[in-house]
């Protein structure tokens, strides 16, 4: 809404939104005792980083001032999305296995796991 009032969204606007997402993710990881809440916090952190990658990749111009630098930011964001999908699948499998064994997903109870 604020960006629409200004008319132009610069890199700094994207960086502020990315920093807010990143901060919300860190707070969510620190505060939540539920494993699924911690996973949501990790996803918020990764999405904040993705927003910064895309903002830097699409808004900076090369030395000639005409051509953009390329798709580096978008490619990095794609790799982070793939990493987040793999992390979510593995973490949800571990969480479901922990729930089957302990009937809770409280991360404070995770200290009794044995290899």
What CATH number does residue 70 fall under? 1.10.287.3510
Which of 2-11, 71-80, 92-101 is the most confident on average?
A: 92-101
27, two tokens: 């707070």
For the cut 70, the answer to whether the pLDDT of residue 78 exceeds it is yes
Contact call for residues 35 and 87 (beta carbons, < 8 A): no
SS3 category, 15? helix
114 located within any domain: no
Number of domains in the chain: 1
Separation CA 64–CA 43 (nearest Å):
37
Domain of residue 34 covers: 9-106
Asked whether residue 2 is assigned to any structural domain, the reply reads no
- Its pTM stands at 0.70
Give yes or no for a contact between 57 and 76, defined as CB atoms under 8 angstroms apart. yes
């Amino acid at each position: 809404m604020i960006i629409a009032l200004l008319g132009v969204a610069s890199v700094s606007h994207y960086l502020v939104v990315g920093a807010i997402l990143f901060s919300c993710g860190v707070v969510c990881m620190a505060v939540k005792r539920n494993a699924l809440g911690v996973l949501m916090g990790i996803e918020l952190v990764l999405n904040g980083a993705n927003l910064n990658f895309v903002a830097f990749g699409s808004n900076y111009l090369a030395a000639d001032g005409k051509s953009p630098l390329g798709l580096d930011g978008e490619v990095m964001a794609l790799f982070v999305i793939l990493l987040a999908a793999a992390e979510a699948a593995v973490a949800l499998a571990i969480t479901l296995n922990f729930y089957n064994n302990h009937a809770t997903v409280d991360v404070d109870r995770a200290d009794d796991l044995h290899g």
